[in-house]
Amino acid sequence: MGLTKQYLRYVASAVFGLIGSQKGNIVFVTLRGEKGRYVAVPACEHVFIWDLRKGEKILILQGLKQEVTCLCPSPDGLHLAVGYEDGSIRLFSLLSGEGNVTFNGHKAAITSLKYDQLGGRLASGSKDTDVIIWDVINESGLYRLKGHKDAVTQALFLREKNLLVSSGKDTVVKWWDLDTQHCFKTMVGHRTEVWGLVLVSEEKRLITGASDSELRAWDIAYLEEIEDLEEPEPKKIKGSPPGVQDTHEAEDGTLEVDEALEDRILTCRKAGSIMREGRDRVVNLATDRTGRMLACHGTDSVLEVFCILSKEEIQKKMDKKMKKARKKAKCVSLLFTDNQSCWTSESTRVLFSSRLNSCNGEEEDLEVRVEMTLQDEIQRVTNIKTSAKIKSFDLIHSPQGELKAVFLLQNNLVELYSLSPSAPTPQPVRTSRIALGGHRSDVRTLSFSSDNIAVLSAAADSIKIWNRSTLQCIRTMTCEYALCSFFVPGDRQVVIGTKTGKLQLYELASGALLETVDAHDGALWSMCLSPQQRGFVTGGADKSVKFWDFELVKDENSTQKRLSVQQTRTLQLDEDVLCVRYSPNEKLLAVSLLDCTVKVFYVDTLKFFLSLYGHKLPVICMDISYDGALIATGSADRNVKIWGLDFGDCHKSLFAHDDSVMYLQFVPKSHLFFTAGKDRKVKQWDADRFEHIQTLEGHHQEVWCLAVSPNGDYVVSSSHDKSLRLWERTREPLVLEDEREMQREAEYEESVAKEDQPAVPGETQGENYFTGKKTIETVKAAERIMEAIELYREETAKMKEHKAICKAAEKEVPLPTNPILMAYGNISPSAYVLEIFKGIRSSELEEALLVLPFSYIPDVLQLLEQFIGRGSDVEVLCRALLFLLRIHFGQITSNQMLVPVIEKLKETTISKVRQVRDAIGFNLAGLEYLKRECEAKSEVMFFADATSQLEQKKRKRRKREKLILTLT
């Protein structure tokens, strides 16, 4: 039997041309002790760390497959939490760039991530309507909070209290008590989706942003404080007079779904609204880390910045207002004789009573009261206008008082602005911009140079030349909307075909536009260089095919000649031309038309030769093999057809993609070809055997075009996600049978994870109250536990048999050792089970035990009793034990055989946990002592440092004085 045909595997080599993708948010990160210099930006499945000062990419946090949707740095600045499209969360170390911890609990994309003040807990909100609290230190889930009926948009921890506040697209804001894990308050005062919320003024005020131009402010009062004031709470009365009703509405604009007063932890009253200038919905609402600066933006390019004033600043402002009011009141009191009430301004009400002495005209008893409004507490600072629509932003307040705002824009751009909020008229200044590493719009054409080193990418406004090995952009040139391109032989010039039908000729050395030629009246859809390399052919929407030759013409600006193009012939057709291709011997020209056919003509006489018809929709792309035997056509009908070029017969029709086939190209010197589709995939095919070889997955949006290098070792593809991806041919052989097997395994693993129905907002079917979710990893972990217990059962049975044999033989018989136990260092079977337990990730332990059948539980409980009795890994084992007791409580308590085991477990567990707690307490006390010692030493050091700094300053002053003296 002959060997199966082997191919060489192409693998993903790099992602480039992308500065930041749109789905996630940009955040400032602390690296090398510097704040405000580095930003983390989502880039498809990866996270890029950019240096804003140098405009360089300094670190890539490697993702797997899913797109990044949310980022949140830890309070200590050492870690970055990254949320993905599939609901998983990974914690990356910013020092090493490795993601060691993975949390799987959500069924849909992560929409919100927030750490608590110490960074020990992480709250994640998702499109699956749940909020999950994760223990970062123990690397496990704590609990799931269910209550929202639509996607969660934000979740925040309170610093002082063990509470959490969350908002959702279901128009409500929910308050959660984390001690009891229940929702104790639901605010239903919004009529539209709540897109964001922030806590300001020492967590005494909540500000929410919805789908209108209002930012609503709510005053938060905690129950203990209300009890201290001992004031009865006013209640709304249905039949109250309109005036009374209005005053209550102003105080409490929210309709609250609330329990009785004794069950309530806090009250929320509407304090008022701040009007935004934008008329559309709030996209992002955030404060800086100090909570002093508040900013928000809508779907446009304007960020509105507000300042939350401190108590002292508000007091100063009110004193000024009082002065003004008194002054005005004095003036007005001269005009009135009776008690009056008048308005002096929109925001200040002055009440006064004046009695005029008829004898001397002097006034007595002037009383003035000034009311404080929300506008006095939250002051508009300025607006920051960016160069394109804002997708996300982050703020940082430097110790010098400067506010830095970094933006991720819609057009693949990062901008940094700085402003001084304390200035009388703060003016935002753009201090940095990362633009070189990518195009502003989708790349529509790609080409390789003849030496495989340079890659050309062209979009709606620019052409970029990239070095394939370093992935650096080495030249950027402005152009019109590019649709097709190629390198002129010699790789010194490039030709671009544009949407307006122009040919643009550029020189690479200088980046200059040499010539623009009006080639077609409509879009110039396709170009093909002639095999003899003396000219090329173009096809456009004006129903014509034009032939061009290269020529050297005299340059007006210099003595040397420069390259130009000259039209030689025109072929007029009945339909728009979508694609043109030469046969390798330059005898035939294939032209695809809008009428779904491909017409083949003789190049020399332009006479009609063949018509290839069979596609149901127009042929968008095609290519002819190196030997001129085959032509492959890709169409919007999702099919690829392979034809013989000798008779025009269709060899095979392949259902290639789930959407339109956008690009097709043969690998040089072979009958293998690549196709790119709107279904986000790049696929490789064998045109001889009509087989699908492999799928290159990675793009997250439609793939527009691709280019295969002249030596066939590299493929570069571009997509609507703004990324360019490089794929490299390896030496690893690819066997189709193995590939199909791997594909089936991947499909099985996906189906395991998706066994429950996908989450529908508010649905109760298949609800999961634990924090984890079933994944292929948890299933494998459960299988490992089952295998370990089976091995333990077998080995204990063998040991019993061995003892009986030794007793019968009255001598020691050698016991054969299990090879698995030998691999672990000749350990006992029970120790092997413990190793397996320790090897399971902390975040997957509960879900793995949930899958475990009850028949294994008695053995597990007996082993846990042994392990805890020895005092080994008490924390992990107690977690496993308590979880098993929770989920199998009924069966365990009704099983008489397990009663003595549970009794023993009760004794050993309590004593061992107490020992661990005492050890931790002792260690904490020791650390506190060391901390005090260090602080005492550092105080001494501080004074020593201060004296040395003073001496240094004096020396510098003396030097400066000497320098001035010498100059004068």
Question: What secondary structure does DSSP assign to 726-754, as a single string?
Answer: EEEEEEEEEEHHHHHHHHHHHHHHHHHHT
Count CB-CB contacts under 10 A for residue 484.
25
Strands 598-602 and 588-593: antiparallel
The radius of gyration of the chain from alpha carbons, rounded to an integer in Å, stands at 36
Closest CA to 441 of 400, 475, 413, 473: 413
Helices 874-887/857-870 angle, 10° precision: 150
Task: Give the Cα-Cα-Cα angle 520, 523, 527 (nearest 5 degrees).
Answer: 75
Q: CB–CB of 296/282 below 8 Å?
A: yes
Distance of CA 349 to the CA centre of its chain: 49
Alpha-carbon distance of 305 to 394, in angstroms, equals 12
Among residues 614, 602, 627, the alpha carbon closest in space to that of 687 is found at 627
Q: Is 897 exposed, middle or buried (0-12, 13-18, 19+ CB in 10 A)?
A: exposed
DSSP 407-442: EEETTTEEEEEEE-TTSSS---EEEEEE-TTS-SS-
Of 687, 675, 682, 601, the C-alpha closest to 650 is 687
Whole-angstrom distance between the N-terminal and C-terminal Cα of the chain? 99
Strand partners, 393: 407
Backbone angles phi, psi at 529, to 5 degrees: -75, 140
Q: 396 and 404 in contact (C-beta within 8 Å)?
A: yes
Q: What 3-state DSSP class applies to 664?
A: strand
Q: Which parts of the chain sit beneath pLDDT 70?
A: 1-4, 225-264, 333-367, 753-769, 940-944, 967-968
Report in angstroms the alpha-carbon separations of 450 from 338, 529, 669: 96, 12, 15
Joined together, the tokens standing for residue 433 give 């911009």
| CA atoms in the 13 A half-sphere facing the CB of 837 | 26
| 3-state class (DSSP) for residue 214 | strand
What phi and psi values does residue 652 have, to the nearest 5 degrees? Answer: -160, 145
Q: With CA atoms as reference, report the closest residue to 447 among 260, 649, 705, 148.
A: 705
d(Cα 660, Cα 638) in Å, to the nearest integer?
5
Cβ 294 vs Cβ 378: under 8 Å: yes
CA–CA–CA angle 287, 289, 292 (5° rounding): 55
Question: Strand, coil or helix: what is 149?
Answer: coil
802: enclosing H helix or E strand: helix 776-809
pTM of the model: 0.83
Q: Give me the numbers of helices (H) and strands (E) for the chain, helices first please.
A: 13, 61
- In what side-by-side order are the strands of the sheet with 163-168? 152-157, 163-168, 173-177, 182-187, 256-258
Identify whether the C-beta of residue 174 lies closer than 8 Å to the C-beta of residue 165.
yes
- Give the 3-state secondary structure of residue 630: strand
Which tokens in the block code for residue 802?
Answer: 């061995």
CA angle 164, 170, 175 (to 5 degrees): 20
Q: Are strands 214-222 and 205-209 parallel, antiparallel or unpaired?
A: antiparallel
As a whole number of angstroms, the distance between CA 631 and CA 687 comes to: 9
Provide the pLDDT for residue 760: 33
Neighbouring C-beta atoms of residue 711, cutoff 10 Å: 14
Longest dimension (CA), the chain: 134
Q: Hey, which bits of 443-587 come out as E strands? A: 445-448, 454-458, 462-467, 473-478, 482-487, 493-498, 502-507, 513-518, 524-529, 535-540, 544-554, 561-572, 577-582
CA distance 866 to 37: 53
- Find out whether 175 and 265 touch, Cβ atoms under 8 Å: yes
Under the phi-then-psi rule, with left for phi > 0, alpha for psi from -120 to 50, and beta for the rest, what region is 605?
alpha
DSSP structure string for 239-283: T--HHHHHHHHHH----EEE--GGG-SEEEEEEEEEE-S--S---
Contact criterion met (CB below 8 Å) for 348 and 336: no
